Amino acid sequence: MTQFLYIEILAGADLVMTNSYQASIGGFVEHLKLTKEQSYDLIKESVKLARTACERYSKEFPNAPKPMIVGSVGPYGASLHDGSEYTGSYAKTTSAETMKQWHIPRIKALLEAGVDLLGLETIPCRVEAEMLVELLKKDFPEARAWLAFSVRQDGKSIAYGENFQETARHCYDLNPNQLIAVGVNCVAPRLVEPLLSGINKDRKNPIPLIVYPNSGESYKVELGWIDRDKCEPVDTYVQKWLDLGVTWVGGCCRTYATDVTRIRTEVEKWKRNRAEKSHQNGQCCPK
């Protein structure tokens, strides 16, 4: 894992995520037969692995910016092993309190181990998103996080069916001081623009946006990743997303170090083009 993260950093990543997306105390106790204490420490170990990769990079490139470590916090549905993080179906039968108690120790472990940010990701339903945002405010007031949703193929709804833009605005407004961004992940690149277009129209406090799509393939529990023929080069969309106001961009499932490099290249191109346009218009170049 450390070597994989190191390669991602070399490819141009400014941050790395811990391998803790599905990790939970209950899951490790049940399936690995660990104690609760051992399970807690194992989640913290994911942060140590990421830190080792970052320290190696900093040692070899001492003048380069130090990569940030983001603690991956996947949804409750990821622990059910039925693909429900892509549907949110568990919201029908699982209370917000049950989800909360499942999340608390894993978030606590990641923060205790020293992550720079939390990535609340692939969240499929509004009830879990609201709970997580409120949980940060109440139990982890010093933490910063982004909130990324899993979505449907219609270009307007999160996975459980609620309107994406309404849900995103609501969740951000619940806790703008701790949320550094709201957006989508593990989504086909072609769906990003319709989801985000107009989300900040007429807002006095624009929402910082994050996008890290998959390759365009689909995941089926019984088959794994399918629709290889629908793969899309993520980098071809990057400049348009930046034009929409996206401030954090990357890749999720089925994207690799080569994609990171290409994304980085497109970001740098966009920044240069913007600076040139500002110069031509006689404006100060934004940093």
Residue 284 marked in a binding site: no
Q: Name the 3-class secondary structure at 165.
A: helix
- Quote the CA–CA distance of 284 and 53 in Å, as a whole number: 37
User: Nearest 5°: CA angle at 208, between 282 and 110?
Assistant: 135
- Quote the CA–CA distance of 259 and 214 in Å, as a whole number: 11
On the CB side of 53, how many CA atoms lie within 13 Å of its CA? 27
SS3 content of the chain, % helix, strand, coil (to 5): 50, 15, 35
- Quote the CA–CA distance of 15 and 19 in Å, as a whole number: 13
**Nearest alpha carbon to residue 86 among 230, 221, 251:** 221
Residue 252 marked in a binding site: yes
- Quote the CA–CA distance of 238 and 211 in Å, as a whole number: 9
- Quote the CA–CA distance of 229 and 132 in Å, as a whole number: 36
**What is the CA 14 to chain-centroid distance, rounded?**
14
- Quote the CA–CA distance of 188 and 231 in Å, as a whole number: 8
Residue 253 marked in a binding site: yes
Alpha-helical (H) ranges within 18-151 are 25-31, 36-60, 96-112, 126-139
Bind-site residues: 186, 252-253
- Residue numbers in the known binding site for Zn(2+) are 186, 252-253
